[in-house]
Amino acid sequence: MVLQVYLDDVVALDKPHACGGTEWVVVRLGADIGLRCLRCRHRVLLPRGRFEQRFARFITRATPPEPEIDLDLEQPQPQGRV
């Protein structure tokens, strides 16, 4: 099952960073997960699979983004010249 992660989630990983920090904020989502150490502000990119292996727990959760509504479908389409 895929772990649901959102931007601005604060997570703890299995091993601490070299600076000793254990809390990371999610700054990028996709095939790679971008993380920023909250202690030294260093940024890293982890492949999603490696992130899920090293994930320990959520410290705080961000609110999930609301689904976007395509308003262009509700507007009438312009007709050809009359």
pLDDT digits (tens, 9 = 90+) for 22-78: 999 999 999 999 999 999 999 999 999 999 999 999 999 998 878 776 666 555 666
pTM of the model: 0.76
Number of domains in the chain: 1
Q: Is residue 43 part of a domain?
A: yes
Q: Is residue 17 part of a domain?
A: yes
Q: Is residue 2 part of a domain?
A: no
Type of residue found at 67? P
Q: Is residue 4 part of a domain?
A: no
Q: Is residue 29 part of a domain?
A: yes
Question: Which residues lie closer than 8 Å to 43 by C-beta, 6 or more apart?
Answer: 27, 34, 35, 36, 37
In terms of Cα–Cα distance, which of 58, 56, 66, 70 is closest to 26? 58
Domain encompassing residue 22: 10-63
Query: In angstroms, rounded to a whole number, what is the distance separating the alpha carbons of residues 58 and 43?
Result: 18
CB atoms within 10 A of CB 46: 17
Q: Is residue 48 part of a domain?
A: yes
Q: Is residue 31 part of a domain?
A: yes
Q: Is residue 5 part of a domain?
A: no
